A and B are shown apart, each in its own frame.
Chain A
Amino acid sequence: MPLNVEIVSPDRTWWSGEAVSIGAPAADGDLGILTGHQPVLAVLRAGVVRVRPTSGEAITMDVDGGFISVDQDSVTIVVDPTTNEDQASGEN
């Protein structure tokens, strides 16, 4: 079962869809998430979020901060609005 991913900022949803894996820059070190990950709420530092969707090319996105919540294979990444535009390459 793939991960259900949503990347949101205050004014829009950047990306949503199904993914195989996610890499996120958590405060204490990068966090890799596969299906069946235990529920976690982590603060993000500035860095790059990587999403490997079930189909199509991998997505990378620069973030300035935010947090990530993982809960029963549904992942929500909340990014701060200062994140640059046109960063989400491969946006569908």
Chain B
Amino acid sequence: MAGQQRVYKQKIKSTQTLKKMFRAMELIAASRIGKARDRAVKASPYTRAITRAVSAVASHTDVDHVLTKDRTDTNRVALLVVTSDRGMAGAYSATVLREAERLRAQLIEDGKDPVLYVTGRRGVSFYGFRGIELERTWLGDSDNPRVEVAEEIGQTLLDAFRAPVDAGGVAELHVVYTRFRSMVAQEPQVLRMLPLEVVDGVAEPTSEVMPLYEFEPSADAVLDALLPRYIRSRIFNSLLQAAASELAARQRAMHTATENAQDIITNYTRLANQARQAEITQEISEIVSGADALAAS
């Protein structure tokens, strides 16, 4: 029965190796979260400045811009889905993809034609498996998004929104990403980014009065420069949030995995001990019965 023991020993060994790996991934994720949050903090002065400026313009002139107008000439709508490049993050990708699918189904129901833009390998393989065509994908750096990539995504989507119908123009832009609420709570979020809805004092609960700005060269020109930047900064922000969420989800998933591995090790150790004891007992009873047989003869 030595075979039994050996099998258990092997299982313990391999689980221990896995446990080490899970632990390492947990620690890596934990150390990167700090960085990811730091990046989000560093990006916020820019977002704040842009938002302030947009509301300054909006409170002075009637906003009438290409990016704020509803397009009725096409029923194509763009859908940007932000997923992760790697798995091992629990339900992170599944959650955001489920939300994206829900939105996609709803858009189709509304008679629209969703066009998919996806970041992250998980999303790409999800749609690839289902044979759904993707307009454009971005891979790599999902846990550490770079500004250049965000700019490129923003530019692509803005171009799509501005493009004429026969060049593949889209009428709306929806973004599905995961919002980082805290280390334990991340939730999928759907945002309609385009056409922009400019409300006076966009997301700025402040009591200070907006000064009377002078616009250089003109209010329209300023708006022209501001709104694309606003969109791009929003997209960058959602990428940063998604990155922080991914890392938090991975840390938690890996923490659970480490604990489960420990449980398995404990279980198998018990079984291995039992097997060893059974073997000893059997050997003793064999010897005893052998000796008895000799004494009887």
A-to-B contact residues, CB < 8 Å: 6, 8-13, 26-28, 31, 38-43, 65, 67, 69, 71-72, 76, 78, 80-82
Contact = CB atoms under 8 A, between A and B. Distances in A.
A41 to B, nearest CB: 5
B57 A41 contact: yes
B45 A6 contact: yes
Contact of A8 (B49, B215, B221): B49
B212 A39 contact: yes
B155 to A, nearest CB: 11
Nearest to A65: B225
B201 to A, nearest CB: 15
B226 A67 contact: yes
B147 A28 contact: no
Contacts of B52: 69, 76
Contacts of A12: 42-43
A71 B210 CA distance: 9
Contact of B56 (A43, A69, A72): A69
Given A27-B216, A40-B213, A67-B226, 7 more contacts: A11-B236, A31-B216, A38-B214, A39-B212, A42-B216, A43-B222, A81-B151
A76 B56 contact: no
Contacts of A9: 46, 147
A42 B213 CA distance: 10
A78 B213 contact: no
B44 to A, nearest CB: 9
A35 to B, nearest CB: 15
Interface string B26-46: 000000000000010011011
Contacts of A72: 211
A91 B217 CA distance: 30
A16 B68 CA distance: 33
Interface string B215-248: 1110001101110010011001000000000000
Contact of A43 (B39, B151, B216): B216
B271 to A, nearest CB: 53
A6 B222 CA distance: 19
B213 A39 contact: yes
A4 to B, nearest CB: 13
A26 to B, nearest CB: 5
Most central of A11, A27, A40 by chain B CB within 10 Å: A11
Nearest to B56: A41
A81 B221 contact: no
Contact of A10 (B147, B216, B224): B147
B73 interface: no
A28 B216 contact: yes
A42 B42 contact: no
A23 to B, nearest CB: 14
B46 to A, nearest CB: 5
B225 A81 contact: no
A8 B45 contact: yes
A49 to B, nearest CB: 15
Nearest to B50: A78
Contact of B147 (A26, A38, A81): A81
Given A69-B56, A81-B147, A11 B214 contact: no
Nearest to A81: B147
Given A27-B221, A40-B214, A40-B216, A81 B148 contact: yes
B150 A43 contact: no
